[in-house]
Structure 1
Amino acid sequence: MATTRDFGEWLQDYARQRPDFAEALLREGIDALLDGEVDVGRSLLRDYIKGTIGFEKLGKAIGVQPKSLIRMFGPRGNPQAKNIFSVISYLRKLVGQAKKAA
């Protein structure tokens, strides 16, 4: 019997295995935010974070409590521009560092 997996779990696993996919996920999340699709953008960024760095490490890196980040990117999250741009800036730097190391 086949077991079913939650789409979010599959997406996170795939992002871990495929850095190019993870980078595209980040880019799509940012583009969605800039296009005014805030809910879609937050959801994509949440999946990206969960599939790559995780909320614990991200929180330590940018000085924000992980629980605050989880709420910020949750379905009812309402992040301030300052907070969301600090997250995006840090994530983009990580992608750049990963490319240099590869």
Structure 2
Amino acid sequence: MPLTRDFRETVRARAMRDPAFREAMFQEALRALLSGDADAGRAALREYINATIGFDRLGVVLGRPPKSLMRMFGPSGNPTAENLLGVIGVLQERTGVHIDVRVVAAE
């Protein structure tokens, strides 16, 4: 179901004023990607992009058309590792939310 503009604006406003919310959004997207749920990870990353820097600014920074980036993170998108890691790098730099990866042995 497509998100309404009011909902997007509400999420964006909260992400702008609440660093913990921004962090949780980014964490959820990356957790889904790393656990193998590519569809949920792309959708969550798309929401995070919309709530933070937006696809227009992301496109400028990466030198890619915003529409191409939107498709990449859409329902049938399939970003390459290079594109995905580039986007994650820009998001860390521009939003101030950084990844700290730890390896933990399974119990």
Which amino acid is 1:91 matched to? L
How far apart, CA to CA, are the structure 1 residues paired with 2:17 and 2:78? Answer: 30
- Deviation for aligned residue 1:53: 0.3
Identity of aligned residues (%): 45
How far apart, CA to CA, are the structure 2 residues paired with 1:17 and 1:34? Answer: 27
Name the SS of the counterpart of 1:74 in structure 2.
coil
How far apart, CA to CA, are the structure 2 residues paired with 1:17 and 1:39? Answer: 28
Asked if the contact 2:53/2:94 (under 8 Å) is kept, the reply is: no
Q: Give the alignment of 1:45-56 within 5 angstroms.
A: 45-56=45-56
Equivalent residue number for residue 18 of structure 2:
18
Please, which runs of 5 or more residues in structure 1 have no aligned partner? 98-102
Q: How many correspondences in the alignment? A: 93
Equivalent residue number for residue 83 of structure 2:
83
Write 1 or 2 for the structure with the bigger share of helix.
1
- Deviation for aligned residue 1:30: 1.1
Scaled by the length of structure 2, the TM-score of the pair is 0.76
- Deviation for aligned residue 1:13: 3.5
Scaled by the length of structure 1, the TM-score of the pair is 0.79
- Deviation for aligned residue 1:86: 0.2
Post-superposition CA distance 1:47-84 (Å, at most 9, x none): 11101100000010111110001001111111111101
Q: CA RMSD in A?
A: 2.0
More deviation, 6-15/69-78: 6-15
Equivalent residue number for residue 62 of structure 1:
62
